[in-house]
Amino acid sequence: MAGDGLNAHILDAIESLKLIARLSWRRNLTSWLYLPLGILIILLACFGVDSLIHLSSVSFPASVALLIILFFGLMICDTVLGDRKTRALVNVIDIPAGWALRYINIFFTPSFILLPLSSSISGTEVGKIITVFLVGFVVMVAVTAWLVRGLQLITGTPKRGITERAEEMGNEDDAIPLAESSRSRQDSQLQLTLPTDPASNSTSGISTSGQFDEPTNGLIPPLRTQDPGRIRGTGGPPESDTLIRETGLSDAPSQTPLPLTRPQRWAAFINMNADRLTYAFLFIFVGLPIYYTTGYAMPAQLTFNVLAYFAALAFPPRWRQFLHPVLVSSAISIIGFWILGLIRGENLDQVLGSYKTGTNYLDLWHGEKHLKAPGAGDVFGSVLDASIVSLALPMFSYRQELRRHFFAIVIPNVAISIGSLFGYPALCYAIGISSQRSLAFAGRSLTLALATPATTNLGGDVNTNAALAIMSGIMGVLVGPRILEWLKIPQDDYVTRGVTLGGNSSAIATALLLVTDPRAAALSSLSMSLFGIITLALTSVPPVVRAIQSLVGL
């Protein structure tokens, strides 16, 4: 009897795997072939641009340069080839670019994980840094918002109401699966319950459409397959009245379908948790054996870092407003790495030293000698370049708005760039903050891809700048919208919201806007890029650098 039960379970497991393979093969083909190939092509393009930049004496990140090239390239294609062919090209680019944007938050974690390696600092100086950061953030957000709002009123920019904006946005859904896990889970569940194969439209965090296929036979697809007791076979009660209204099936006749079979339940569970199960398998059966036999920590640390991020996303949405997944996953990762290192007899400094060795894809492809093997932080930092390049897509999608509000974007970004470069270092040095940390404040609100070279050009403390840049992004997510409410910025003023958050909170705030307001996200990404370009351009001019360094006694 026991043998029969075991055989039955084995047969059910095989049947569930067949079901997953049949319904998800297109998604898996995209996830494991098209997507990695697309990311590789983006990084190869970055390498080519970086090689051209090295021919000059300018220090400028290749990812931002390629972002600009891609944006204007799509603009030219739209003019020359027309909208239809350009849209087809964008759909191809969106396979890797859409994924890179949706997973952008996890690529910010290395900067926080590496904070314990920063040089020691006194409590008094920490208090001064925190004070300047908090006060400066509020002041800069207020100045930027009022300046953008004022320029719109002066130039006579037409106002758009919330209803009109919603109608224009239509059914767009740029949700980030790592930030909105419930939608991606629903997409995964539908693949196992619909009679047709929707894998081409929902790829478990790959596709950006976010739209459900119309279910056949007038049945509502179940939304919570993790609770088999609520399932009604191939259809059942929706989780809320919203889905009924969206699908237009409120008058469908009630039916009592058969319950899901055990292989179907198993397939639904595996498909819903495919990412978590994959990374857990790689961590246990690949990462740990390699780490404890060879000492190479990258596979174990990378997979653990991703699992820590998934764990951070399990917090209720209300908690995540304060316990940001970047912070929580970084803390979990530090503790986990430390424990794994103790088993090998390594201290925290050694463990974090192997997490980021300083060898990225550009170093490898340039053929530099005597390089250390890249760590998990180097892998995340490399893929972050693809995310920065991918910001060209939302910019292009809303190019008409970018043209319409050109002056409201350019003038504020020039002002806050010059103000940050000359105001922050002088103020910080005057109240007793060290010279290098004072210079780090000049790139406080830049995204890390831009903040690091700008701070390096000035001779500032890169670790302090990384913490300030990430905290600026998190502050923009946690309190940025509330500050705009206090400043009486209308909800429908996506221009002010996008430019203000993009210029002061960089890519993390842009990731938030991709979920809440894609039109504002386009302006935010442009503002972030423009602010970074201006700052990097100024810090690449030797007389400007000497003038800024003179403000901190160098």
DSSP letter string over 353-390? HHH--S--HHHHHTT-SSPPPP-HHHHHHHHHHHHHHH
Amino acid at 140: M
SS3 for 57?
coil
> Tokens for 45?
């393009």
User: What DSSP assignment string belongs to 151-211?
Assistant: HHHHHTPPP--HHHHHHHHTT-----TTT-HHHHHHHHHHHHHSSS--TTT--SSS-S--P
Please state, in angstroms and rounded to a whole number, the distance separating the CA atoms of residues 183 and 189.
10
pLDDT at residue 221, as a whole number = 38
Residues contacting 408, CB < 8 A, separation 6+:
148, 151, 152, 155, 157, 495, 499
pLDDT of residue 472: 87
pLDDT band at 200 (very low <50, low <70, confident <90, very high): very low
pLDDT > 70: percent of the chain: 80
Region 24-45: mean pLDDT is 89
Tokens for 544? 């400007």
Contact 77, 86 (CB under 8 A): yes
pLDDT surpassing 50 at residue 242: no
Give the three-state DSSP class for 227. Answer: coil
Mean pLDDT on 294-319: 92
**Can you give the pLDDT at residue 173?**
38
State the CB neighbour count (10 A cutoff) for residue 269: 18
- Mean pLDDT computed over every residue of the chain: 78
**Which of the four pLDDT bands, split at 50, 70 and 90, describes residue 63?**
confident
Amino acid 87: pLDDT:
92
Backbone angles phi, psi at 103, to 5 degrees: -100, 15
- DSSP class of 488: T
Question: What is the arithmetic mean of pLDDT over 512-535?
Answer: 82
Q: How far apart are CA 43 and CA 50, in angstroms?
A: 10
What is the mean predicted confidence (pLDDT) over 166-172? 44
**388 and 447 Cβ atoms separated by less than 8 Å:** yes
Hey, is 114 helix, strand or coil?
coil
Confidence (pLDDT) at 246: 40
Confidence of residue 226 (pLDDT cuts 50, 70, 90): very low
Question: Which tokens hold the place of 154?
Answer: 């002066």
Whether the per-residue pLDDT at 234 is higher than 60: the answer is no
pLDDT at 39 over 50: yes
3-state SS track over 305-359 = HHHHHHHHHCCCHHHHCCCCHHHHHHHHHHHHHHHHHHHCCCCHHHHHHHHCCCC
pLDDT of 237 over the 50 cut: no
Q: Over 70: is that where the pLDDT of 251 sits?
A: no
Mean pLDDT confidence for 392-397:
84
pLDDT band at 52 (very low <50, low <70, confident <90, very high): very high
Average pLDDT over residues 288-308: 96
Confidence of residue 85 (pLDDT cuts 50, 70, 90): very high
Residue 121 near residue 197, CB atoms below 8 Å = no
Using pLDDT thresholds of 50, 70 and 90, give the confidence band for residue 196.
very low
Helix and strand totals (H; E) in the chain: 28, 0
Mean pLDDT of 417-445: 90
Both tokens assigned to 115: 């904070």
Q: What is the pLDDT of residue 36?
A: 93
Angstrom distance (rounded) from CA 426 to CA 445: 17
pLDDT above 80: residue 551: yes
Average pLDDT score over residue span 142-158: 83
CB 118 within 8 A of CB 464: yes
Check whether 471 has a pLDDT greater than 70.
yes
Among 33-37, 153-157, 370-374, 506-510, name the one with the lowest average pLDDT: 153-157
At 486, is the pLDDT very low, low, confident or very high (cuts 50, 70, 90)?
Answer: very high
Of 516, 475, 524, nearest in space to 496 by CA: 524
Q: Check pLDDT > 90 for residue 204.
A: no
Q: Which single residue is written with the structure tokens 């600026």?
A: 472
pLDDT on residue 549: 93
CA-CA-CA-CA dihedral for 359, 364, 370, 371, to nearest 10: 20
> Do 321 and 335 touch, CB atoms closer than 8 A?
no
Angle between helices 2-29 and 262-272 (to 10 degrees): 40
Q: Which of 153-157, 406-410, 417-421, 511-515 has the lowest mean pLDDT?
A: 153-157
Nearest 5°: phi and psi at 57?
-100, 15
Other Cβ atoms closer than 10 A to 46:
25
pTM higher than 0.75, yes or no?
no
Sequence ranges of the domains in the chain: 2-163+369-551
| Residue with tokens 């997409």, as numbered in its chain | 187
Q: Confidence band (pLDDT; 50, 70, 90) for 3? A: low
At residue 97, does pLDDT exceed 70? yes
Q: Pick from 453, 296, 439, 349: which is nearest to 288 by CA? A: 296
Please compute the mean of the pLDDT values over residues 40-61 and round it to a whole number.
Answer: 88
SS3 call for 526: helix
In this structure, how many other beta carbons lie within 10 angstroms of the beta carbon of residue 214? Answer: 13
- Band of the pLDDT at 201, cuts 50, 70, 90? very low
